[in-house]
Amino acid sequence: MCRSIKTLRPPVLPEEATEEDIRAAALQYVRKVSGFRAPATHNREVFEQAVAEIAESTAKLLRGIEVRGGAARTAPRAVS
């Protein structure tokens, strides 16, 4: 049903995760948990809201993670 969600933090990902990377991971998570690849019309709003909330939480997590021997990220990233 869905591919594996890849690790988005450095040094696993050589560059900072993009909004697209974060949203793709959130979408895969919601698909896996809900059991739907695409929601029915009557579930579309709640499905998209879940993707947005998970993407926002993921971006916040990635900004706050401190990689051992490195500094925490301080630059805020907007997620739409």
Higher-pLDDT residue of 24 and 12 is 24
Can you give the residue range of the structural domain that contains 38? 19-64
Q: What is the pLDDT of residues 22-57, one digit of tens each?
A: 999 999 999 999 999 999 999 999 999 999 999 999
Cα gap 23→70, rounded to integer Å: 25
The per-residue pLDDT for range 63-73, each reduced to its tens digit, is 998 877 655 55
Q: Kindly state whether residue 4 falls inside one of the protein's structural domains.
A: no
- Counting the structural domains of the chain, the total is 1
Q: In the structure encoding, which two tokens stand for residue 50, read together?
A: 């879940």
Amino acid sitting at position 31: R
- Residue 29 belongs to a domain: yes
34, part of any domain: yes
